[in-house]
Amino acid sequence: MSALLDVILPVFLVIGFGYAAARVGLMNDAAVDGIMRFAQNFAVPCLLFRSIAQLDLSAAYDIGLLISFYTGAFAGFAAGFFGSILIFRRPLPDAVAIGFACLFSNSLLLGLPITERAYGAGALAGNYAIISVHSPLLYGTGIALMEWARSRGQGLSFPALSGQVVKAIFAQPLVIGISLGFAVNFAGNPLPVPVWDAVDLMVRAAIPTALFGLGGVLLRYKPDGDRATIAMVCAVSLILHPAITYSIGRWGFGLDTASLRSAVVTAAMAPGVNAYMFAHLYGVGKRVAASSVLVATALSIGTVWMWLHILP
């Protein structure tokens, strides 16, 4: 019970505060969009920039950690993709969007604060290693597959498809922040102290603002129809992905305790809002993606508690 009260509940109370503020009309849709735009396009990229720029890359990038997490992630995509086609008979583009919802865990807005509250700020190196390749790799996969699904029969050349994918990936503010962080890290952190102080001011606003805004966004997502498909996404995201990550990390690679915690807690998060944004971008699978974000986020209060008890 103490894990729920001390670790999980404060995070979800901030989300609930944003949800309640939007529900009673203290924030309209434009205000919520403005908060999320600030968080996702400015404050959170600053957080990633600082974290990657100051990260000990040689210590953080454990190949076993990354393989454990991303094997679970791509297994989740395969389960969602083929389940959508073979069981629910969804069109190919819908299946890609649903698979992406199973693939893209909320590593940043939920994974970071829950890991920090559970194990301390010193336990986040593994989280940042995962996050640093999360958006480029998963967006790259999702965009490539969606463009392939949409261009079947159109004769789109491989160079043209590759150009679309690369352009879409590096237009993401999160990827820009990560890329700049690597550049500064490789250069030996040459930035002056006032610049770092300014970045720190932005960083302090990132997580609470994003969580509060996430609550406002979730108000829009009404579970409606497609219940079996939504249940599949929730099961894959909250159970299958972390179970595979835990199994490979603990018994396949023998990860140290800190790395295992980072990998499994990140894997156990609900689909992020980006899952809906991806579906909305292509206009397919939007209802399933939106409802899955809402339902899985609510259910994760219990499943995250379970995983915290399982972890050493």
- In CATH, what number is assigned to the domain containing residue 129? 1.20.1530.20
pTM for this entry = 0.82
Torsion over CA: 297, 301, 306, 312 (sign): positive
Q: Which domain holds residue 14?
A: 2-310
Phi, psi of 52 (to 5 degrees): -70, -40
Ordered per-residue pLDDT tens for the chain, 312 residues: 555 566 677 878 888 899 999 999 999 999 998 998 898 889 888 988 988 888 777 767 899 999 999 999 999 999 999 999 999 999 999 999 999 999 999 888 789 889 998 899 888 999 989 988 887 788 888 888 887 787 665 555 667 667 767 777 777 787 888 889 889 988 988 889 999 999 999 999 988 888 888 888 888 776 667 899 999 999 999 999 999 999 999 999 999 999 999 999 999 999 987 787 788 778 888 888 878 988 898 899 899 999 999 999
Q: How far apart are CA 78 and CA 228, in angstroms?
A: 17
Q: Helices 92-103 & 227-235, crossing angle to 10 degrees? A: 40
CA distances from 127 to 66, 208, 229 (A): 10, 18, 29
3-class DSSP state of 105:
strand
* DSSP at 55: S
**Cβ atoms within 10 Å, residue 90:** 21
Whether 108 contacts 131, CB under 8 Å = yes
Domain total in the chain: 1
Phi-psi region of 43 (alpha: psi -120 to 50; beta: other; left: phi over 0): alpha
